[in-house]
Amino acid sequence: MLDTGSTGFMLLACSLVMLMTPGLAFFYGGLATKRNILGVMIQSFVSLGWTTVLWVIFGYSLCFSGGEGGIFGNFDKAFLQGVGMDSMYTNGQIPEFVFIAYQMMFAIITPALITGAFAGRVTFKSYMIFLTVWQVLVYYPFVHMIWGGGLLAQWGVLDFAGGIVVHATAGFAALASVFYVGARVDKNSTPNSIPLVAIGSGLLWFGWYGFNAGSEVAVDNVTSLAFLNTDIAASFATMSWLVIEWTREKKPKLIGLLTGSIAGLATITPCAGFVPLWASPIIGTAAGIVCYLAVQLKNKMKWDDALDVWGVHGIGGVFGTILLGVFASKAVNAAGADGLIFGNSSFFIKEIVAVAAASAYAFIFTYLMLIIINFITPVKVSESDERLGLDVALHGEKAYDEGAL
């Protein structure tokens, strides 16, 4: 029977997750150099349009129609056929329309996360091919296998809101992209607008409540647990990143603080509705430290992940999934599992195997896909276009009219 409270909440959560994609555009746009602001932002905004088209045509169906125990669903709900006014989500509380829209917002932001890694170096035509193929052959199968009753779900793998499905796959795809396109020509690239980064970060944090709490797809005690776990972990990660960076560099940095918050949000994502409240400060504190060290490793190895997608989202997603295997408790969510500290080592092992396999697959597939795309159209922009900046070279626009008073 329709639950109007849960339906209203899920519509709100859907709107919050939608807002995360513009938030990501602002976050990445502020971190990019002045000549690449629009080139970075359009890669997020175009996903709002194109991913919706794909989702309606066959994406939703491949993720959530049939295919029990498999890797993909089927095409029974292609073009949303068979979804009517009386169609309900499987819990019977919300219309299927709402679930379609909510999951579509996840599909929109996931590939957009990757774009920060190769900022200022990739042609728009190749990105559109990338956006299409990566969703179909990386994102859709992992959605189905974990959230659509597929292979990993039947094996007992859990992922509350996207540690594996979203952050691990996107983060390791980002690292593969960096290896393929190589370093930027300008090694001294600096953020053009830290206030814009702060606005984007705030929108992401705000939207993440819908991302995590909404993943319960109902309004109950688990919803409120996921909401509070999300905020606590993000806050503790913010402070742990700030402290470690302040200690090492002798000054408190706003960008570091903001990056720490995103690290905490990414890390709590797979855990939010499955772990007790006392675990979230531990998860958040550890997330800030581990993701900070991952970024330092990236710098030491000279991997030119421009906006630290791998260190924050990739490592955050992997680390959060492992910690889910440690702290999960059936006492807080009967639909979950008991983790390592509650005596269930098999669940812990399953989470590690699943996130390792997803990360490896996303990395290898992305690298090979970029090689193939390059045969169709150049992936990397020319050196002259890179020096000019993608805003002018590819899009014929400038973020700021420098001649205006």
* HSE toward the beta carbon, residue 325, CA cutoff 13 A: 20
Classify residue 287: in a domain, yes or no: yes
* Cβ pair 272, 212 in contact under 8 A: yes
Cα 220 to chain centroid distance, Å, stands at 25
Within 10 Å of residue 155's Cβ, how many Cβ atoms?
13
User: Residue 172: which residues within 8 A CB-CB, separation 6 or more?
Assistant: 310, 314, 359, 360, 362, 363, 366
Q: Quickly state the pLDDT bin for 1 (edges 50, 70, 90).
A: confident
Residue 404 has a pLDDT of: 54
Q: Quickly state the pLDDT bin for 189 (edges 50, 70, 90).
A: confident
User: Residue 374: which residues within 8 A CB-CB, separation 6 or more?
Assistant: 126, 380
Classify residue 218: in a domain, yes or no: yes
Classify residue 390: in a domain, yes or no: no
Taking CA atoms, 109 is separated from 60, 74, 263, 349, in Å, by: 15, 23, 16, 29
The per-residue pLDDT for range 11-50, each reduced to its tens digit, is 999 999 999 999 999 999 999 999 999 999 999 999 999 9
The per-residue pLDDT for range 305-314, each reduced to its tens digit, is 999 999 999 9
Q: Quickly state the pLDDT bin for 401 (edges 50, 70, 90).
A: confident
What's the predicted TM-score (pTM) here? 0.96
Residue 403 has a pLDDT of: 64
Q: How many domains does the chain have?
A: 1
Classify residue 73: in a domain, yes or no: yes
Question: 3-state class of 88 per DSSP?
Answer: strand
- For 122, phi then psi, to 5°, come to -120, 140
Question: What is the span of the domain harbouring residue 246?
Answer: 4-383
Classify residue 400: in a domain, yes or no: no
Question: 3-state class of 233 per DSSP?
Answer: helix
Classify residue 301: in a domain, yes or no: yes
Taking CA atoms, 47 is separated from 24, 112, 138, 180, in Å, by: 12, 7, 16, 22
- Check which CATH number belongs to the domain holding 307 and give it: 1.10.3430.10
Classify residue 30: in a domain, yes or no: yes
Residue 90 has a pLDDT of: 86
The per-residue pLDDT for range 338-359, each reduced to its tens digit, is 999 999 999 999 999 999 999 9
The per-residue pLDDT for range 134-186, each reduced to its tens digit, is 999 999 999 999 999 999 999 999 999 999 999 999 999 999 999 999 999 98
Classify residue 402: in a domain, yes or no: no
